[in-house]
Amino acid sequence: MRTERHVDGPSLLERLRIWAHEAGFSQIGVADIDLAAAEPGLRAWLEAGFHGSMAYMAAHGMKRARPAELVPGTVRVISARMDYLARDTPADWVETERRRVDAPGEAVISIYARGRDYHKVLRSRLQGLADRLAAEIGPFGHRVFVDSAPVLEVELASRCGLGWRGKHTLTLARDAGSMFFLGEIYVDLALPVTAPETAHCGQCTACLDACPTGAIVAPYRVDARRCISYLTIESDEPIPLELRPALGSRIYGCDDCQLACPWNKFARRAPLPDFDLRADLAAPTLLALWAWDEATFLKRTEGSPIRRIGWQRWRRNLAVAAGNTLRRQDDPLLAAALAAGRDAAGERAAEHVAWALAQRSSPSSSSASGNPAIATSVDSVTRPAT
């Protein structure tokens, strides 16, 4: 990046807001780059091992809280919000999702992952916004990020008024809940900083109470090692035995803390068709998805964020969800499909298949799915935004 330059900040920011809205973003804000106050929490979170096997979190160290070290010359960060509920999402979507998470035979995929990969959507539109700005003022130093670098995105979004950090550690907005993506443009322009939003969680603990695995160990503190999103997406290790029943029908991510949040009654529909539901992922069954071979998986998840976990991890997750179904309700077709596909599942997934088949004879009372009482007592630290 080049050295700091001066611009007609207020006028330029107003135009940026208009351009961002035209590009599909609901809101933008501008944050300064002094994130020193966030460093103690980040350091403590890493030292507690709450990042699990995400070694890159520790490898980046404090660079995550130091934008000018990540991109030299940065003086401001433009943070942008894009809503992602599918355009045809019904009014009773929260109730519908709650019913599905433990329904036998269902395969539940986190809402954000049922459409196009948000990395691609946001990155191209943020770059378009930067290009439009360059056409207006001339070349300037910038980098666009969408979950692609060590960026404290929730901290930045909170500082510039896009919302506040909820007790589940996600960004919350009064007019949009938490069902939105964040992206950033690091710039060498001295744009005016926008005012932060005040917090509005009050005494509510709905997200903590709803977490199936007790991963939200305290307000604003998450142990990723217990989080279903981490277990099904980030971790390549076997899913811990004691946590498998809590996954229920979830095979990719988890929305429970968001479904429980009262602010999500204001969640907005996406302005773009990119996040419309893919037919294969709208209301899939475990039996249908288990029938996919690797070639089918790659074809059906092309352009989807799901593809990054790979077929083996996908089969691992399906096996656990199938085991939870078989514990609640005997399903001979599902059991037969699991047994027939065990050898093709790969060594790691095969162990989960064996576990799943063993659940067929387990008493239904053994299920802990959806029970926050399985939470453990863990020393808590602030979770960084990722």
In a domain, 248, yes or no: yes
**Rounded distance between C-alpha atoms, residue 340 and residue 348, angstroms:** 16
**Rounded distance between C-alpha atoms, residue 132 and residue 136, angstroms:** 6
In a domain, 335, yes or no: yes
Residue 254 is assigned to a ligand binding site = yes
Q: Catalytic one among 32, 147, 276, 280?
A: 147
Residue 255 is assigned to a ligand binding site = yes
Domains contained in the chain, number: 1
Summarize the confidence of residues 43-72 as an average pLDDT.
Answer: 89
Summarize the confidence of residues 224-250 as an average pLDDT.
Answer: 97
| Coil/strand/helix, residue 188 | coil
User: Taken in order 293, 298, 299, 305, is the CA torsion positive or negative?
Assistant: positive
Q: Are 282 and 114 in contact (CB under 8 A)?
A: yes
Give the tokens for residue 98. Answer: 């709650």
**Rounded distance between C-alpha atoms, residue 285 and residue 251, angstroms:** 11
In a domain, 307, yes or no: yes
The count of C-alpha atoms lying within 13 angstroms of the C-alpha of 290, restricted to the half-sphere facing its C-beta, is: 30
The model's pTM: 0.89
Predicted local confidence at residue 362, as pLDDT: 55
Give me the chain's average pLDDT, please: 90
Lowest mean pLDDT among 5-14, 15-24, 94-103, 133-142: 5-14
In a domain, 356, yes or no: yes
Residue 377 is assigned to a ligand binding site = no
Does residue 239 carry a pLDDT above 60? yes
Predicted local confidence at residue 381, as pLDDT: 29
The torsion of the CA quartet 321, 323, 326, 332, rounded to 10 degrees, works out to 100
Residue 365 is assigned to a ligand binding site = no
**Rounded distance between C-alpha atoms, residue 154 and residue 132, angstroms:** 25
Summarize the confidence of residues 5-31 as an average pLDDT.
Answer: 91
In a domain, 173, yes or no: no
Between 223 and 380, name the one with better pLDDT.
Answer: 223
Predicted local confidence at residue 56, as pLDDT: 82
To the query of whether residue 147 is one of the catalytic residues in this protein, the response is yes
In a domain, 286, yes or no: yes
**Rounded distance between C-alpha atoms, residue 350 and residue 85, angstroms:** 35
Lowest mean pLDDT among 42-51, 213-222, 241-250: 42-51
Cα separation values, 283 from 215, 289, 296, 363, 369, Å? 26, 11, 17, 28, 20
Confidence of residue 348 (pLDDT cuts 50, 70, 90): confident
H or E, element range at 82: strand 76-83
Q: Check residue 362 and report its DSSP letter.
A: S
Give the tokens for residue 43. Answer: 């350091």
**Rounded distance between C-alpha atoms, residue 85 and residue 269, angstroms:** 5
Q: Are 148 and 186 in contact (CB under 8 A)?
A: no
Confidence of residue 59 (pLDDT cuts 50, 70, 90): confident
Residue 160 is assigned to a ligand binding site = no
Please report which residue ranges of the chain form alpha helices under DSSP H. 9-22, 39-47, 55-59, 67-70, 93-100, 118-137, 153-159, 206-210, 228-229, 256-259, 279-282, 286-290, 294-300, 310-328, 332-340, 347-358
Summarize the confidence of residues 279-306 as an average pLDDT.
Answer: 95
Confidence of residue 383 (pLDDT cuts 50, 70, 90): very low
Predicted local confidence at residue 8, as pLDDT: 78
Does residue 325 carry a pLDDT above 90? yes
Summarize the confidence of residues 219-240 as an average pLDDT.
Answer: 96
In a domain, 312, yes or no: yes
Residue 257 is assigned to a ligand binding site = yes
The Cβ of residue 1 has, within 10 Å, a number of other Cβ atoms equal to 16
Predicted local confidence at residue 7, as pLDDT: 67
| Coil/strand/helix, residue 251 | strand
**Rounded distance between C-alpha atoms, residue 384 and residue 386, angstroms:** 6
Residue 147 is assigned to a ligand binding site = yes
H or E, element range at 119: helix 118-137
Predicted local confidence at residue 102, as pLDDT: 81
Summarize the confidence of residues 247-262 as an average pLDDT.
Answer: 98
The string of pLDDT tens digits covering residues 108-157 is 999 999 999 999 999 999 999 999 999 999 999 999 999 989 999 999 99
End-to-end CA distance of the chain, in Å?
24
Q: Check residue 283 and report its DSSP letter.
A: S
In a domain, 299, yes or no: yes
- Domain residues for the domain of 343 are 206-256+276-374
